Chain A
Amino acid sequence: MQKTLKIKSFFEGVSKGISTFIVSATDLLFGTLQKLIGVKRMPYFFVLPNLLIFGIFILYPVLLNFVYAFTGGPSFFPNERPFVGMANFERLFACESIFQPNTCTEDIFWRAVHNTLFFVIFQVSLMVLFALITALVLNRKIKFRGFFRSVFFYPCLLSPIVVALIWKWMLQDNGLLNGIIMGLGFTKFPFLVNAQWARFWVIIVSVWASMGFYTLILLAGLQSIPADLYEAASMDGANNWKAFTKITIPLLMPTMLVVIVLSLIRAVQVFEVTYAFTGGGPGTATLYLVQFIYNYGFSSPNKQYGVAAAASLLMAGVLIVLTLAQFAAKREESY
């Protein structure tokens, strides 16, 4: 005991010494800098590192994406690509009807659009519904709340590839789920071979992998509702159902909006988990927009950077609308 205390205080002393050294060394350096450039220019010094990384690796690529979208040819380097105007966009929209992917030149793009739309609608509604129920249950006076909260959040910590492998193992032809189904007297289901089943499971798996996060946000929203509101309501003779519809729902609405918009944005961008889980298959059943962009830019044998960039601009447009909606929702949340 004595010894561990000594070791602990030794390490505390060392780390304190190191941090004092860093602080005074950097202070000497940047204090001198301040004298050279003047206090007025110091803010620029503070934003500079972030701005540099941001500018080179985020802003510049975003601008480059426009160059790719309006140029053609197979070259990866923008200066070797001829300007083609709107041709890439025209190619994407070359359809008899956009509701029938078969009639389009880029039929896979429209399949991806349809798949994404289907995925977004069902995934977001399922996820918000279950996140809400879970948050409401966790907000009751229950034992082991911390434990349950952690269990629901745990899958959010897992990487896409781990999530994909876990569920592949569950759903494979000789997997646990088919074992249980056989035990109940039914025949096996071709979960990952049949297109409809694959679409279904992609939704379930992505709900599994991200629901806990939204549950936490909704739970925080519920807990910020003042308890005396409920007391006052019950004194006025309101029953539980009334309290739920007249207090909980309206006061939770701003948080709900944020959750819906956030999950919409993330659902439109679905890629990593499905890529590792189904690879877009069977066929193109679970091929979503980002994977279409990825395939055209990285993995297909005849890469079409222009078409990929045009598709990504269209998608960015959708995301911008959704994000603006998020900011509107946020503003409403803070009144």
Chain B
Amino acid sequence: MNPILEFFTRKSGRKKLSLSDLLSYLYLLMGVIFMFGPVLWVVLSSFKTPLEIAKFPPRIFPYRQQTVSLEGYEEELPLFTVTSDDGTTRQLAQIRRIGLEAQMIDPLEPNVIIKVPIDKRVPIEKISFNLENYITGASRFNFGRYLLNSVIVTLFATLLTLLVNSMAAFALSKYKFRGRQTIFLVMISTLMVPLSVVLVPIFLVVTSVGWNNNLLGIIVPVAATPTGVFLLRQYMLTIPNELMDSARIDGASEWRIYSQIILPLAKPALAVLTIFSVMWRWNDFLWPLIVISRSELFTLQVGLASFQGELNVQWNLILAMTVLTLLPITLVFALLQRHITTGIATTGLK
């Protein structure tokens, strides 16, 4: 049997590791490197010093030169391994460098100054995850503020989306009323028109409401997602109407039926919409970029974009702030990955 054909087929089920299994694991390993490698590379690079960052070819881990503090010298002195003419090596600390010659001393005998040609010395380095980039970066990148704005936007936009979408889906799935079909059709038809295509008119509306440079401008306009209404309506259609009828006989109001019966039963669909909404709002980039121009209202994404624009070449700081920006969603994903991946797989909407 051709192993490549076998590789594409579904069942393996044998006890021994066959060639097709090996190929599968090889593919997955390459996949892991391709999908996760770039992120890991950014994380590793974010701990590097500016000098190390500029180095080419780059080294995988962040290194830092070892130093030693000696009496009589204010600053810490960098350590080098020096090869003598007879081939022996020893560790020396460098005081200063003059042209092609370095003045060095042995930490054990700090009084004797030894002159060494610079090509005879190699810096002593150790892998070190230094937080300097994060500290310097955070002093110019208002991480706390942006994080707070992002959390506020994500939280309130998601709550609003869940509330208005579920109410609309409830009406559209459980009642017969004049205009129902029209409302549903109009909503569905705008599924086709992406926000990015009607940017100018939406911006006009938001400006005339006075919501530019206001977090409301990025929370409210995106809340009435047709996708969410559609998703919840399809789910609510599967909830039997008899439950509502018996609640009505018991004297429950329509609001009570919605909040006490339908919402709890629609939890799986609500959970999926929550995942989508959090993903959408947390990662929104274009819309906040247009609506918000005051830096104290920036979300993390917009803040990172403008930070990048300000210091185009200071990669060490940009990388550290990139890691800070991707950290929260990565943590949430690590905790909830099973729910998220299965939830998305079951609905297939984005």
Contacts and interface: CB of A to CB of B under 8 A. Distances in A.
Which interface class (under 10, 10 to 19, 20 to 34, 35 or more) fits B?
A: 35 or more
Contacts of A255: 348
Given A162-B326, A213-B344, A240-B5, A53 B196 contact: no
Interface string A287-300: 00010011001100
B27 A269 contact: no
Given A46-B258, A62-B190, A316-B192, A53 B224 contact: yes
B194 A47 contact: no
Given A154-B333, A162-B322, A216-B341, A61 B198 contact: yes
Contacts, number: 316
A101 interface: no
Given A134-B31, A170-B38, A175-B58, A271 B196 contact: yes
A244 interface: yes
A146 B337 contact: yes
Contacts of B168: 46-47, 49-51
Contact of B205 (A46, A56, A290): A56
B213 interface: no
A35 to B, nearest CB: 9
A161 B305 contact: yes
Interface in A240-256: 240-241, 243-244, 248, 255
Interface residues of A, number: 110
A323 B329 contact: no
Nearest to A29: B255
Contacts of B258: 46
A155 interface: yes
B157 to A, nearest CB: 11
Contact of B12 (A26, A141, A176): A141
B57 interface: yes
B187 interface: yes
Given A176-B58, A217-B345, A272-B286, A155 B35 contact: yes
Contacts of B325: 159, 161-162
Contacts of B171: 42-44, 46-47
Interface in B326-350: 326, 329-330, 333, 337-338, 340-341, 344-346, 348, 350
Interface of B: 1-2, 5-6, 8-13, 21, 24-25, 27-28, 31-32, 34-36, 38-39, 41-42, 45, 54-58, 163-165, 167-168, 170-172, 175, 177, 180, 183, 186-187, 190-206, 209, 220-224, 226, 229, 253-256, 258-260, 279, 282-286, 290, 300-301, 304-305, 308, 315, 318-319, 322, 325-326, 329-330, 333, 337-338, 340-341, 344-346, 348, 350
Given A140-B24, A157-B330, 19 more contacts: A26-B255, A46-B167, A47-B168, A49-B168, A50-B168, A61-B202, A139-B10, A153-B341, A159-B301, A162-B304, A165-B318, A169-B42, A169-B45, A208-B38, A220-B346, A240-B10, A244-B8, A269-B196, A293-B199
Across the A-B interface, give the 10 residue pairs with the lowest CB-CB distance, nearest first: A240-B9, A179-B57, A50-B168, A61-B201, A46-B171, A30-B255, A64-B201, A57-B221, A159-B283, A220-B345
